[in-house]
Amino acid sequence: MAGTVVIRELAAAEAERRLGELGAILRDAVDSGASVNFLEGFTQSEAEEFWRGQISGLADGGRHLLVAEDGDRLIGTVVLTKAPQPNQPHRADVGKMLVLASHRRKGVGRRLLDAVEALAREEGRTLLMLDTTLGSSGDLLYRSCGWVQYGIVPGHALSTLGVPTATAFFYKEV
């Protein structure tokens, strides 16, 4: 299946038009138990509002949104956010690395991660950082793709059910 999936950047205007799909991907992740900043009961409206809040960064170039698309349907996302600090022009954060549950374990996440790393290099960003729930499928993916864990903070974030969970912090030089 991953061979039929296209990975591409979504511009601000298209992201605005596709807020419903973007929101559905985020809700699917939360509904599947992914600790991606939101708790159980997260609504479609709240998910769309999150993505709406990303659009200004897409428009001004401080943020890039890559999507995985199967035909005309969005099935995954990953965001590259450039560090705004003057002393960190080489750094960016990777976030909202999400794939619909129906499309997981088929190589889509790995392809999104490869694409965001390539984009970072094109943008002159050579140090990437991210965090994820310790022991999650994301944790396993990042480790298998050469990301380096540099710390664990116990109880750093709440699971979707409101239980404190450990967060693993990673970096990768690209």
Assess if residue 165 is contained within a domain: no
How far, CA to CA in Å, does 85 sit from each of 117, 129, 164? 20, 15, 30
Average pLDDT, whole number, for the chain? 96
> What is the domain range of residue 118?
2-127
The verdict on pTM exceeding 0.75 is yes
Phi-psi region of 137 (alpha: psi -120 to 50; beta: other; left: phi over 0): alpha
Amino acid at site 60: D
Assess if residue 153 is contained within a domain: no
- Please name which of 69, 70, 26 lies closest in space to residue 48, comparing C-alpha atoms: 26
Assess if residue 28 is contained within a domain: yes
Alpha-carbon distance of 76 to 97, in angstroms, equals 7
- The gap from C-alpha 144 to its chain's centroid, in whole angstroms, comes to 17
Assess if residue 134 is contained within a domain: no
pLDDT at position 3: 56
Q: What is the CATH number of the domain that holds 41?
A: 3.40.630.30
- Number of domain units in the chain: 1
Question: Are 40 and 8 within 8 A, CB to CB?
Answer: no
pLDDT in tens, 156-169: 999 999 999 999 99
User: Residue 25 phi/psi, 5° resolution?
Assistant: -65, -45
pLDDT in tens, 66-96: 999 999 999 999 999 999 999 999 999 999 9
Assess if residue 56 is contained within a domain: yes
Three-state DSSP class for 7? strand
